[in-house]
Amino acid sequence: MPKRIGVLALQGGYAAHAAVLQRLGADVIEVRLPEHLAECDALVMPGGESTTIIRLLQRNLLDSAIIERANAGMSIFATCAGLILLSKRISSGAERGGQPTLGLLDVAVVRNGFGRQLDSFEADLQIKGFDAPLRAIFIRAPIITDVGPGVDVLATVDDKVVMVQQGKLLAAAFHPELLSDDRIHAHFLDAVVEH
């Protein structure tokens, strides 16, 4: 039976994630309310605008629902803005801190750590456990500046941490949904959700 994977569909790049998951055989549910989340085996939190997404999460009471499900063992894959929202701390840097987060992933991040839209770039990443490099697209990407003791660093760019895993939480600073290489989503389905 295909896994029912929720894709947070409040704002941002959720349609591209849904397309990748469907290619891999998952049953995708667009999550906008807590009752949608209740139908899911796992959740993908896409990129977008993190301050907008957190306000919509709070307005729709999804923030507490996601925290509750994660604490009960639900797997979550977060990219770019999703990583920011999942993190415990937003460090001061190019962007000021103070934005609320879900506080589930024991990392600190700097928003727009690689710069603004004009500073977007692509890089070949060597991801821990993957046989071959993966091309990654960074768009206004955060940087993970600090990781807690239970966090496994999976990839870096120029010694900057850009992908981590903490138990059933997987997070990337880049946008794997924008290329045809589905290995990260497959890893999430096979190794994180099934773990």
Dihedral over Cα of 32, 43, 45, 34: its sign:
positive
Helix (H) or strand (E) holding 55: helix 50-59
The residues annotated with a catalytic role in the active site are: 80, 175, 177
Q: How big is the chain, counted in residues? A: 195
* Positions of E strands within the chain: 4-8, 27-31, 42-45, 75-79, 87-90, 105-110, 121-125, 134-138, 143-147, 152-157, 160-166, 169-172
Three-class DSSP category at 147: strand
Q: Please tell me the distance from the alpha carbon of residue 68 to that of residue 73, in angstroms, as a whole number.
A: 9
Three-class DSSP category at 71: helix
DSSP 189: I
CA 11 to chain centre: 14
